[in-house]
A and B are shown apart, each in its own frame.
Chain A
Amino acid sequence: MAGRKKTDETQMNFDFDGNSVPASKGVKKITKASKKAVHGKEIKMTMKAAEVSVKKKRSRKSVAATAESMAAKQRDISVSEFFAKNRHLLGFDNPRKALLTAVKEAVDNSLDACEEAHILPDLMIVIKPVADTDNKFILTVRDNGPGIVAKQVPNIFARLLYGSKFHTLKMSRGQQGIGISAAGMYGLLTTGEPVQIITRINAKSPARHYHVQIDTVKNRPEVISDEECEFELPTGTSVSITLEGKYLKGKRSVDEYISQTAMANPHTTITYHAPGGEVHEYARQSEDLPFMPVEIKPHPYGVELGVLFKMARESQSKTVGKFLRNEFSRVSQPLSAKIIKKAKLTASSEPVKITLKETERLHEAINSTKIMPPPTDCIGPIGEEKMIEGLSRVVEADFYASCTRKPSVYRGNPFVVEAALAFGCKSDSKDKKEDEKESLMRLVRFANRVPLLYQQSGCATHKAALEVNWRGYGLSQSRGALPSGSMMLMLHIASVWVPFTSESKEAVAHYPEIIKELKLAIQECGRKLGMHVRKQKRIKDELIKRSYIEIYLPHIGQALKEILVLKEPQVDKVVNNLTTILEKTRSMP
């Protein structure tokens, strides 16, 4: 689990307007006071409520607040405090979801760490109810990753917004460095238990066992204990969180999440001990490590004006040309010259001195110049074959189709979209089969191989699936609903930066570029499905028509016999000849 949170450090301090004066009575103005790069790596952002003006309006009895009295109440809020109050933003809104989110964060981290160290992941997930309670569980996730160096353990597990992934443009499961520490914080808040970590980075050195917890006011980790211990693997990490939760089966359950993770990660072995004592084993299907994503610079297309301006102002490049070449991918010397000429700038001007007007021209010039699509070696799709393998690992169906699109760009971030479809899914019991006849298609969503279980209707994948005209593929679809049928649609978005709608990473934002690609991928699968459905229908129709031969030919023979007074052998000949004639004209597709 190490290797991902190395040396970068992010700390965000927010100054919030913390008083309780009714908003309608005052007009607040918040201006950005400063935004500085300290040591080039640590960014400190401070937002201050600098100017607060209150319209004075006499209320009946209470004394109106003054700027001074309000200022007295205005103070720092730590990020951890903020999230402790708003834990739903991170996916801990109810006990059931909290358990799932904790599993998800731990599994994401483990898989990312293993893959980054080029180790085929081998996960063990254990959820044990705490004795004598029915709403507390101990969650343990153990991986065979590279381990974590001693110094970083507290920061990684007990400090929010601390991580290696936020500042890089690279496809990975985790992004912000919130997840696992938030899970630990939730555990601490609900049970008072600290997070326990056992990690070993080297087969020759002993493993260490830590107890850490977060100081929510300061957003700083506290190490409660740190001792040497035994560990069964040469390297690896095991995290245990005690938390309040609720274990239920069915949709959006932990079981479902693990099964879908297995679907999207055929190179992973997962052993899962459910709270009820059941053990689910998902054996590794593929010995190939998935594609190793590489870090990239942003692509010029889609970079917003404000971002471009900020990047230029903060650039260390000496000239605008160098700035374009150094800070963006796919910008060559001639191309940068072309863009600068279009923008009517001088090539030798310094980017830090650029004005907003000039940036506007530069932005326009970039978007009207043809630039190669971003490098795609930074994203690793699951792949058409592997997706079908993954799907068939979970559902048995009559027909599978899949499609991996070519990489595309939204806001300068390359992304790849994949779709796979299983049609005619077989269910276990007979009763279930009856239900499924009426049921809608199941949508299974993934972002960077991570299953998304919540907020389906708010997700770009869902919107895309709805916008596709499934009737064209021989399915029935009500207005504003997914098509009906026993089928499963798997959608995967891989990107260096997946645009989630919230920090709990439940749904993908509705970027038109992403929805367009999703639709194209679904349509590609749909066309294959349509062919299959039509063929099935043809075969069925054909069988019905073939039965006509058997049913009606004897009547023709009989009628001719009655009219022409034929003898039996003649009638037989009529029927036999007709059977041959008709069968010649039909060939089974």
Chain B
Amino acid sequence: MPRTKQISALDRITDNAQQVYKTIIAERSPTMSTPIRSLSNVKYRPQKGYFEMLGKSKKRTLTVNTVKAFAQTLKMMALSKQLIEEDNMATKREAYYISKNWGKAGFSEQPESDTVMDDIEAMFGVNREQLKFVPEEKGGSVAGNLFVIDKDNSGRKLKIDCTKFGSGAYSIPVEVENLKFQSKAKFILAIETAGAFQRLVKCDYWNKANCILISMGGVPTRACRRFIRRLSDSLKIPVYAFVDGDPYGYFNIYRTLKVGSGNAAHLNEYFCVPGASFLGVTPQDIKDYDLPTHPLKEVDIKRAKDALKNDPFVKHHKEWQLAINQMLKMGQRVEQQAFAKHGLDFVVDQYLPDKLKNPSKFLP
């Protein structure tokens, strides 16, 4: 992530604290302003290809009601400053445990500390890695025709061959900014489930189709999104998404991969893959390939309707609206691994080659 353009996180922290301090000394109530972190505060910019944050923010003035949150935010900022100065880092869980030293200002559950962390991140417009807080989440797995150029602990160059992991895979690290890539692959296939990923690896698909396979393991983490983005930018090859045919796969996974999320909208610019397109599984595939399905759950229907109403990405793309309405009408969802009905190799021999004959017909 390019940092040079930005004032360092350390400066942001001290500037903000200085302002608070001055206000208090002037005997006024200090305020902190945090951008609203939800889909209601983003706009889809098709030419830029991602969700851009709008100016809406919530202003928190120090009162008796907000004094706890205020104290916790400042304590978290102090912790971040300490970590930056010591050139150390803390996982989100560790930060939560550190707060246990703060007496009554400590957090009782980790989601509380995560929220404060996300607020500070959005307030300063920085990545939480810059604040020296790192997630425990796994980045994702890679297999295929790719060399990743990394460094070992002593700073020596390492050339990692992603074809040489056998039945295993290369694991995307938390920090991907300094990686370099070499590849002759034709495209990147981003896969939702580890199960489908394993099937493709087992069938030697990356070799047959000359591609790079990436397992996202559910909603792609920031590191995974950034990795795919950097990969596609530097290799100049397309990214195709292959996820479950349900609203979660479409909007929580694919949409987040492509245009980013509402929650960390200030970072979408870097953590999105605008060039990605949707291979499947589409509602139409259910009919075309006679796939076994499950009825839509109540949450699926709610999520689909909510997307139609509130998701700026869906509202921009007619194709997606048609697809969702088709799914709602059918009342069915389908999983990636449903192709096994027609034989274990069906997905590799039949479905993917069929689809890849016509990438221009993929959903946007």
Docked pose: A1 CA to B65 CA in angstroms: 67
The answer to the question of A50 belonging to the interface, with a C-beta cut-off of 8 Å to chain B, is no
Q: Is the CB of A545 within 8 A of B64?
A: yes
Q: Is the CB of A551 within 8 A of B18?
A: no
The answer to the question of B28 belonging to the interface, with a C-beta cut-off of 8 Å to chain A, is yes
The answer to the question of B62 belonging to the interface, with a C-beta cut-off of 8 Å to chain A, is yes
Docked pose: A549 CA to B102 CA in angstroms: 15
Chain B nearest Cβ from A413, distance in angstroms:
56
Segment 549-563 of A: residues with Cβ below 8 Å from B: 549, 551-553, 555-556, 558-560, 562-563
Interface-side segment among A9-17, A350-358, A473-481, A581-589: A581-589
Chain A nearest Cβ from B254, distance in angstroms:
41
Q: Is the CB of B18 within 8 A of A564?
A: yes
Report the 7 A-B pairs with minimum CB-CB distance, sorted nearest first. Answer: A559-B74, A562-B78, A555-B71, A563-B17, A552-B71, A555-B105, A545-B64
Per-residue contact bits, chain A 32-63, to B (CB 8 Å; 1 contact, 0 not):
00000000000000000000000000000000
A564: which B residues are within 8 A, CB to CB? 14, 17-18, 21
The answer to the question of B108 belonging to the interface, with a C-beta cut-off of 8 Å to chain A, is no
Q: Most B CB atoms within 10 A — which of A563, A574, A585?
A: A563
The answer to the question of A577 belonging to the interface, with a C-beta cut-off of 8 Å to chain B, is yes
Q: Is the CB of A556 within 8 A of B68?
A: no
B104: which A residues are within 8 A, CB to CB? 551-552
The answer to the question of A566 belonging to the interface, with a C-beta cut-off of 8 Å to chain B, is yes
Where chain A touches its partner, the secondary structure class is: helix
With contact pairs A551-B105, A552-B67 given, residues A563 and B62 touching in the complex (Cβ less than 8 Å): no
Q: Is the CB of A559 within 8 A of B78?
A: yes
Docked pose: A555 CA to B62 CA in angstroms: 13
Per-residue contact bits, chain B 78-98, to A (CB 8 Å; 1 contact, 0 not):
100110000000000000000
The answer to the question of B77 belonging to the interface, with a C-beta cut-off of 8 Å to chain A, is yes
Q: Is the CB of B70 within 8 A of A563?
A: no
B positions within 8 Å CB-CB of A: 13-14, 17-18, 20-21, 24-25, 27-29, 62-65, 67-68, 70-72, 74-75, 77-78, 81-82, 102-105
Q: Is the CB of B64 within 8 A of A548?
A: yes
A559: which B residues are within 8 A, CB to CB? 17, 71, 74-75, 77-78
Docked pose: A555 CA to B70 CA in angstroms: 9
Chain B nearest Cβ from A337, distance in angstroms:
69
B102: which A residues are within 8 A, CB to CB? 555
Q: Is the CB of B17 within 8 A of A560?
A: yes
Per-residue contact bits, chain A 113-130, to B (CB 8 Å; 1 contact, 0 not):
000000000000000000
Question: Which of these, A548, A553, A555, A577, contacts B27 with CB under 8 Å?
Answer: A577
Where chain B touches its partner, the secondary structure class is: helix
Docked pose: A562 CA to B71 CA in angstroms: 13
Q: Is the CB of A545 within 8 A of B65?
A: yes
Docked pose: A545 CA to B77 CA in angstroms: 24
6 contacts between A and B (CB under 8 A): A548-B64, A555-B103, A559-B75, A563-B13, A566-B21, A574-B25
A556: which B residues are within 8 A, CB to CB? 62, 67, 70-71, 74
Q: A549-B64, A552-B70, A560-B17 are in contact. List 20 more A-B contacts (CB 8 A).
A: A548-B68, A551-B103, A552-B105, A553-B71, A555-B71, A556-B67, A556-B70, A558-B75, A559-B75, A562-B81, A562-B82, A563-B77, A564-B14, A573-B25, A578-B24, A578-B62, A581-B28, A582-B63, A585-B29, A585-B63
Chain A nearest Cβ from B311, distance in angstroms:
38
Q: How many A-B contacts are there with CB distance less than 8 Å? A: 83
Docked pose: A577 CA to B27 CA in angstroms: 6
How many interface residues does A have (CB within 8 Å)?
Answer: 25
Chain B nearest Cβ from A581, distance in angstroms:
5
B21: which A residues are within 8 A, CB to CB? 560, 564, 566, 574
A551 nearest in chain B by CB position: B104
B78: which A residues are within 8 A, CB to CB? 558-559, 562-563
B13: which A residues are within 8 A, CB to CB? 563
Chain A nearest Cβ from B342, distance in angstroms:
57
Q: Is the CB of A582 within 8 A of B62?
A: yes
B103: which A residues are within 8 A, CB to CB? 551, 555
Docked pose: A362 CA to B251 CA in angstroms: 77
Docked pose: A585 CA to B67 CA in angstroms: 13
With contact pairs A552-B68, A563-B13, A574-B21 given, residues A581 and B27 touching in the complex (Cβ less than 8 Å): yes
Q: Is the CB of A560 within 8 A of B14?
A: no
Docked pose: A551 CA to B67 CA in angstroms: 9
A575 nearest in chain B by CB position: B24
Chain A nearest Cβ from B315, distance in angstroms:
42
Q: Is the CB of A563 within 8 A of B29?
A: no
Chain A nearest Cβ from B38, distance in angstroms:
27
A582 nearest in chain B by CB position: B64
Q: Is the CB of A563 within 8 A of B81?
A: yes
Docked pose: A242 CA to B21 CA in angstroms: 88
Q: Is the CB of A585 within 8 A of B64?
A: yes
Q: Is the CB of A546 within 8 A of B27?
A: no
A225: which B residues are within 8 A, CB to CB? none
B106 nearest in chain A by CB position: A555
Docked pose: A546 CA to B105 CA in angstroms: 15
Segment 123-180 of A: residues with Cβ below 8 Å from B: none
Docked pose: A582 CA to B63 CA in angstroms: 6
A585 nearest in chain B by CB position: B63
B68: which A residues are within 8 A, CB to CB? 548, 551-552
The answer to the question of A31 belonging to the interface, with a C-beta cut-off of 8 Å to chain B, is no
The answer to the question of A205 belonging to the interface, with a C-beta cut-off of 8 Å to chain B, is no
Chain A nearest Cβ from B88, distance in angstroms:
15
B29 nearest in chain A by CB position: A581
Question: Which of these, B20, B27, B75, B81, contacts A580 with CB under 8 Å?
Answer: B27
B29: which A residues are within 8 A, CB to CB? 581-582, 585
Question: Which of these, B25, B64, B65, B82, contacts A577 with CB under 8 Å?
Answer: B25
B16 nearest in chain A by CB position: A563
Segment 283-332 of A: residues with Cβ below 8 Å from B: none
A545: which B residues are within 8 A, CB to CB? 64-65
Per-residue contact bits, chain A 527-563, to B (CB 8 Å; 1 contact, 0 not):
0000000000000000001101101110110111011
A552: which B residues are within 8 A, CB to CB? 67-68, 70-71, 104-105
A546: which B residues are within 8 A, CB to CB? 64
Docked pose: A399 CA to B290 CA in angstroms: 74
Chain A nearest Cβ from B103, distance in angstroms:
7
B18: which A residues are within 8 A, CB to CB? 564
Q: Most B CB atoms within 10 A — which of A546, A552, A577, A578?
A: A552
Docked pose: A582 CA to B104 CA in angstroms: 19
Docked pose: A556 CA to B74 CA in angstroms: 6
B13 nearest in chain A by CB position: A563
Chain B nearest Cβ from A131, distance in angstroms:
71
B63: which A residues are within 8 A, CB to CB? 582, 585
B64: which A residues are within 8 A, CB to CB? 545-546, 548-549, 582, 585-586
A574: which B residues are within 8 A, CB to CB? 21, 24-25
A562 nearest in chain B by CB position: B78
Per-residue contact bits, chain A 371-394, to B (CB 8 Å; 1 contact, 0 not):
000000000000000000000000
B82: which A residues are within 8 A, CB to CB? 562
Question: Which of these, A549, A560, A573, A580, contacts B67 with CB under 8 Å?
Answer: A549
Chain B nearest Cβ from A571, distance in angstroms:
10
Docked pose: A551 CA to B68 CA in angstroms: 9
B65: which A residues are within 8 A, CB to CB? 545
Docked pose: A564 CA to B18 CA in angstroms: 7
Chain A nearest Cβ from B100, distance in angstroms:
13
Docked pose: A556 CA to B60 CA in angstroms: 15
Docked pose: A545 CA to B63 CA in angstroms: 10
A580: which B residues are within 8 A, CB to CB? 27
Docked pose: A582 CA to B103 CA in angstroms: 21
A582: which B residues are within 8 A, CB to CB? 29, 62-64, 67
Chain B nearest Cβ from A547, distance in angstroms:
10
Chain A nearest Cβ from B248, distance in angstroms:
39
Docked pose: A581 CA to B70 CA in angstroms: 15
B69 nearest in chain A by CB position: A552
A548: which B residues are within 8 A, CB to CB? 64, 67-68
Docked pose: A566 CA to B104 CA in angstroms: 23
A549: which B residues are within 8 A, CB to CB? 64, 67
B63 nearest in chain A by CB position: A585
